[in-house]
Amino acid sequence: MLKLLKEQKGMTLLELLLVILMLNILLGCVYAIYSIALASWEVGVVRCEIIPQSRIALEKMSRELTSAKKGSIEVLFPLLPSPFLQFSTLEDKTYRYYFYDDKLLEANISEGDDPENGEGTILISGVTTPTLFTFDGNMITIILIAIKDKELISLETKIQPRN
């Protein structure tokens, strides 16, 4: 019995290094899975912020544009970095949708909002890409492209004014 104990002198350095190597491989795999899950969660958080804001902004623009007077709708392409859409409603209110300083704004010009100074109601903020407006005959196309933290959301709608 004593002879058996004398032959086992403990762990060798090689065995210890192998155990440390296996633990490092295991921890590396756990960290890789954790970092992928964390990145996926962060993408989900950003999308949960952008998508509802974008949909609300698009719904508001669509609702207002359906009550626009025929012939009052203008899509203007100034020297500014983005186009804007301006129209009048049956109640003689003039609205302008425009992109200013990472925000999509709605300016009620008939109530004194000055679009040149970025005045108006913020529809969506924190986006870095302007909204695109096109007007073809009686159909208005709005393409809302929102980029936040490298996540791109693109929503499109077509509106035909009733009046």
Report H helices in the chain: 2-7, 13-66
At residue 103, the pLDDT reads: 74
At residue 30, the pLDDT reads: 97
Exposure string over 77-108, b if 16+ CB within 10 A, otherwise e: eeeeeebbbbbbbeeeebbbbbbbeebbbbbe
Q: Any idea where the domains of the chain sit in the sequence?
A: 52-159
Q: Tell me which residue of 94, 73, 42 sits closest to 162, measured CA to CA.
A: 73
Backbone angles phi, psi at 118, to 5 degrees: 75, 25
At residue 117, the pLDDT reads: 63
* Residues in the chain, overall count: 163
The tens digit of pLDDT for each residue in 48-95 reads 888 888 888 888 888 888 888 877 777 776 555 566 778 888 787 888
At residue 39, the pLDDT reads: 92
> Average pLDDT for consecutive 10-residue bins of the chain (163 residues)?
62 90 98 96 88 86 82 69 75 78 72 67 72 74 81 84 74
